[in-house]
Amino acid sequence: MLTIHTADEGGAVAVEGSRIAGTGTLPELQQRFPGARVRSWPGVLGPARIHEGPLPAAPSPRERIHAVLKTGATAVMAEHVDSPELRSAAQRNDVLILAAPRPTALADLGRADLAVFDESGSCIATVCAGRLVHRRR
């Protein structure tokens, strides 16, 4: 199902499957993709982050990966994925494991990794490879 994510600042991203179908304003994307579901978020919408430091401590590898997703990150550095269980948890959740940091961007046909942040920089929602994996209630 095609979903348009939009936030207070006016930007919007259309997501289909694991890819970005388009970027622009909400009216532009609604015209391009009539009938698409719209998710409106308070805050600022942008590309998901890369978690560059050690992963947060948690009781299980799955919970460590979820803690990363809650920060608005959808990628981790390979040097901090130090066990087969942690690597497996990252892969099961479509979290990228990177050898080196890289620029992040929202681009047509790119992987749908985006996040919404409030005015304090706290993550409100994270979309990883097109799936909503975290939302603050």
Contacts of range 81-85, beta carbons closer than 8 Å, 24 or more positions apart: 81/55, 85/61
In this structure, the strands spanning 96-98 and 123-128 are unpaired
Same domain, 92 and 116: no
Same domain for 40 and 58: no
93 and 57 in one domain?
Answer: yes
SS3 118: coil
Domain span at residue 44? 3-48+104-135
List pLDDT tens digits, range 65-85: 999 999 999 999 999 999 999
One domain for residues 43 and 73: no
Decide: 125 and 42 in contact? Cβ < 8 Å: no
Q: What is the CATH number of the domain that holds 24?
A: 2.30.40.10
Q: Are residues 116 and 88 in the same domain?
A: no
Contacts 24+ apart (CB under 8 A), 120-124: 123/70, 123/71, 123/72, 124/41, 124/42, 124/43
22 and 38 co-located in one domain: yes
From first to last of its 137 residues, what are the pLDDT tens digits of the chain? Answer: 899 999 997 789 999 999 999 999 999 999 999 999 999 999 999 999 999 999 999 999 999 999 999 999 999 999 999 999 999 999 999 999 999 999 999 999 999 999 999 999 999 999 999 999 999 87
Total count of domains within the chain: 2
